[in-house]
Amino acid sequence: MSIPGQTMGVGVFTDFLITTTGLDRLTLSTAYMIGTIASSLILPFSGKLLDTRGARFLIVIAASGMGVSLLMLGHVESLLHYTGVLTGIANRPLVAFGVMTIIFLLMRQFGQGLMTMSSRTMLSKWFDRRRGLVVGISGVFVSFGFSGSPLFLNWMIDQSDWQAVCFQLAVVIGLGMTVFGWLFFRDNPEECGLVMDGFRHMAYPADSQPDTQETEPEIDISVSQARKSYTFWIFNIALSLYSLIVTALTFHIASLGAEAGLDRSQVFALFLPMSVVSITTNLLAGWLSDRIQLKYLLIAMLSTMFIGTLAMLYLDTLSGRITFSVGFGITGGLFSCLASVTWPRYYGRKHLGAISGLNMACMVFASAIGPPLFGLSLSWMETYNPAIWFSATLPFITLFCALAVKNHR
């Protein structure tokens, strides 16, 4: 449900927004960057709110806000007209820039930020020994949703038009997800008389103890302590790099495909095999995360991110497209696992909202940099290649830093 607020979803509408608002690609990317950065500055406070008010409260706010922002996106042409009339500003590009910045701020805050953070954090609070398995099962839907959504949304637009799709998404998320979250979300198992991994609070007779192993004492590390940890920053940087590169890729995906000689249907078709690889990887990574040190999954993610990014230079060849889909498919599956498992494994549940909020703020901030970085490359160099080479060096450098990560548990 967070897809329309993610760049995977926004990128499908980019070309239509350029036509409707009259903004060029670089200016629209800049509005996206400013709105996203503003959202990232709010997220640490939202993480603390998650710790105090719980996931149920936050998901209702997120889904409702997402519905409103999608209605605004679908009616952007009318918003531009009425904003110009009310403010008396005759400069349409300036009005369009301001309106799109606000819409992007709301979509990123409610979709990529609050909805993702509340769902992911709640799931992590319900499981401990089985956390990796559960994240793997959840990742089937997450990975398929992220990888397949550009193709699906593009198909929806082909059936009608992009404004109608915005309205449909607003109803499904703004109404449907709000009701669903209010009915079924619970912040932690203790609220329901349970403990992590599903065993009820009850006394067992001496001869009928439940078949469980002793759980380790639950750790409790504050966000200020986590910020001083080398491990936190390496994982945080790696996850943020994925946000930066994938955001840039999906925001400009139609233009990247055109540069390689592919039409919209061909370039969006690359996401289908990517989703299959991502789902398989996420299931395997979830199972492995309960059995091996997370740093090995981190190293694998950075390696495939590097390979997949370089493959963007060769989208005009079949081997390049296969490498791109497989590389980012594996990276996306590992990302979904690590983003959910890492913080509760290393730092506990008590301050999980604040720590996840800090990580989410960094990822959202990084995602703001990607689109204008690629936009500048195309504007100044008339090709995306310089931005792709620069982006590929970032996971390559971080890969060597990840070798020094130690397992905290």
Q: What is the DSSP string of 241-290?
A: HHHHHHHHHHHTHHHHHHHTT--HHHHHTTHHHHHHHHHHHHHHHHHHHT
Is 292's pLDDT higher than 70?
yes
- Across 247-274, average pLDDT: 83
- Torsion sign over Cα 46, 49, 51, 56: negative
Please report which confidence band the pLDDT of residue 211 belongs to, taking 50, 70 and 90 as the band edges.
very low
**Residue 125 and residue 187 in contact, taking contact as beta carbons nearer than 8 Å:** yes
Q: In this structure, what token pair is assigned to residue 2?
A: 């967070």
Main-chain dihedrals φ then ψ at residue 32, nearest 5 degrees? -65, -40
Between CA 383 and CA 108 the distance in angstroms is 27
349 neighbors 54 (Cβ within 8 angstroms): no
Domain count, the chain: 1
Where in the sequence is the domain holding 263, given as residue range(s)? 3-191+219-402
What counts of helices (H) and strands (E) characterise the chain?
Answer: 18, 0
pLDDT score of 11:
79
Domain with residue 324: its CATH number is 1.20.1250.20
pLDDT at 210 exceeding the cut of 50: no
**Which H or E run contains 5?**
none
Return the structure tokens found at 190.
Answer: 């203790």
pLDDT score for 180: 96
pLDDT at position 166 is 94
- Alpha-helical runs (H) found in 293-317: 294-311
Check pLDDT > 50 for residue 383.
yes
Residue 246 domain flag = yes
* Residue 200 covered by a domain: no
Confidence tier at 29 by pLDDT (50, 70, 90):
confident
Q: Residue 89 — very low, low, confident or very high, per pLDDT cuts 50/70/90?
A: confident
Whether 204 is covered by a domain: the verdict is no
Q: Please report the pLDDT score of residue 378 as a whole number.
A: 84
- Domain membership of residue 287 (yes or no) is yes
User: What is the reported pLDDT for 90?
Assistant: 80
Bridge partners of 220, per DSSP, are 348
Mean pLDDT of 4-27: 86
Whether 392 is covered by a domain: the verdict is: yes
Asked if residue 206 is part of any domain, the answer here is no
Residue 97 lies in a domain: yes
Q: How many CB atoms lie within 10 A of CB 182?
A: 13
* pLDDT, average across residues 86-115: 90
Q: Is residue 277 part of a domain?
A: yes
